[in-house]
Amino acid sequence: MGNMATQTQFHVLAVDDSLIDRKLIERLLKTSSYQVTAVDSGSKALEFLGLNGENEDEERNSSVESVSAADEDHQVGVNLIITDYCMPGMTGYDLLRKIKQSSSFKDIPVVIMSSENIPSRINRCLEDGAEEFFLKPVKLSDVNKLRPHLMKGITTKTEMQSNTNKRKGSEEIQSPDRTRPRYNELEVV
Amino acid sequence: MDFVNQLQRKFIDYSSSLHREGIVDDQFTQLRKLEDENSPHFVMEVASLFFEDCEKLINNMAIALEQKQGVDFKQIDECIHQLKGSSSSIGAMRVKNACIAFRSFSDAQNREGCLRCLQQLSHEYSLLKNKLQTLFVVSVASRYLYVCLLMVGRENEHAEPFSDVLVFQLEQQIVAAGGSIPRVH
């Protein structure tokens, strides 16, 4: 899998309005050797990705250092987004929806965290595209579950680059009751 | 004279007592596992942030409960939610439980009950802060003592280093600050 010369580390975007939880998730992710950007709101997350309001690819402000993930040659974008559910303004669920509605970013895996164990909330997030739902406090064992979702992105890219038209096999990692088809496209994140 | 061993023993005993008394839970243990040479003071840093946060929220709730024109229970609830979250994240079990009890009185809009809960919460917070600060002092003291022993070449008198990576970090800091680590063999 030697075509990934530019990308040595996965880059995770963490979103949480609590400073302590941001510190914790940052440490957990860095311990797992991920590059981390932590922001305190959904709107800052969208800004970082280059999504402002309704328009994609809007003029980026100086805080966005990486190239838009839509640029396939320079994959310095975000490989996974992990967000708190309960945030003032835009909730983690709202952020999830916005990501999944974006043509540039809908393939970025999104993981939701919450301190509250509410099954209807959990199901709604998973049905609307979240890969995982972690109950807080988040532990290292939770962060270890992120790797398959990140590796899936690499595998897809590698297949693109080697120009195969082979469909990805069913590498469903999530619970089998998910009905949304997710592996039909070869589109690169 | 095995001061370092004794200090280390004290640290372990003290740490166990915090768990036994329910002051901290397994999440605190998880945080300690996240410390390494890149982040040797992680637990202390997070604990400090927590203390600041806790004091601010307790203060805000005290003010809210004093309002003669009516208590804003929604604000109280938000404070409790925040505090419950952060105490859970650092493993401050008794503070977290105090928040849970507090919430039921806040939901019931029971001002007297809330005042009692706030008092209990303050008490648990003080206890936690006191205990953790003691823990950190013992932890830092034994690390520095180990480095002092290193500097006089007596480190082998200590059965096990407190933490190899932490000592390495301290050595690096000393050297970076222009000092040297003399060895006497």
Neighbours of A172 (CB within 10 A): 10
Rounded Cα–Cα distance for residues A121 and B58 (Å): 30
Query: Residue B175: its pLDDT value, please?
Result: 63
Q: Is B89 on the interface with A (CB under 8 A)?
A: yes
Residue-level pLDDT at B108: 96
**Domain membership flag for residue A140:** yes
Find the angle CA(A17)-CA(A19)-CA(A21) to the nearest 5 degrees: 85
A164 within some domain: no
CA B9 to chain centre: 19
Per-residue pLDDT of chain A (189 residues; tens, 9 = 90+): 444 545 568 999 999 999 999 999 999 999 999 999 999 999 999 999 988 654 444 444 444 444 444 444 333 489 999 999 999 999 999 999 999 999 999 999 999 999 999 999 999 999 999 999 999 999 999 999 999 999 887 665 555 555 554 544 444 444 444 444 444 444 444
Inspect the interface and report whether the beta carbons of A23 and B45 lie closer than 8 Å.
yes
Q: How much is the pLDDT for B150?
A: 72
Domain count, chain A: 1
Q: Does B40 contact chain A (CB < 8 Å)?
A: no
Across the strands, what pairs with A14?
A: A38, A82
Mutation site, A20, A24, A33, interface B, largest B CB count within 10 A: A20
In a domain, A1, yes or no: no
d(C-alpha B18, C-alpha B135), whole Å? 9
Looking at the domain assignment, is residue A110 inside a domain?
yes
Judging contacts by C-beta atoms under 8 Å, the chain B residues touching residue A34 are none
- Evaluate whether residue A60 is within a structural domain: no
With an 8 Å Cβ cutoff, is B42 touching chain A? yes
- Does A123 map to a domain? yes
Low-confidence ranges of chain B (pLDDT < 50): 1, 159-161, 182-185
- Strand runs (DSSP E) across chain A, as ranges? 11-15, 35-39, 51-52, 55-56, 80-84, 110-114, 132-135
Confirm whether A85 is domain-assigned.
yes
CATH number (domain holding residue A111): 3.40.50.2300
Half-sphere exposure of B148 (CA within 13 A, CB side): 9
Residue A70: its pLDDT value, please?
45
Q: Please give, rounded to a whole number of angstroms, the shortest distance from the CA of A119 to a CA of chain B.
A: 19
Yes or no, beta carbons of B53 and A23 under 8 Å apart: no
The DSSP code for A135 is E
What's the pLDDT at A170?
45
State ipTM: 0.78
Q: What is the pLDDT of residue B15?
A: 87
Return the pLDDT at B154: 63
Find the domain containing A46 and state its range.
8-51+74-156
C-alpha span between A84 and A136 (Å, rounded):
9
The label of the residue with tokens 């959904």 reads: A42
- Domain presence at residue A188: no
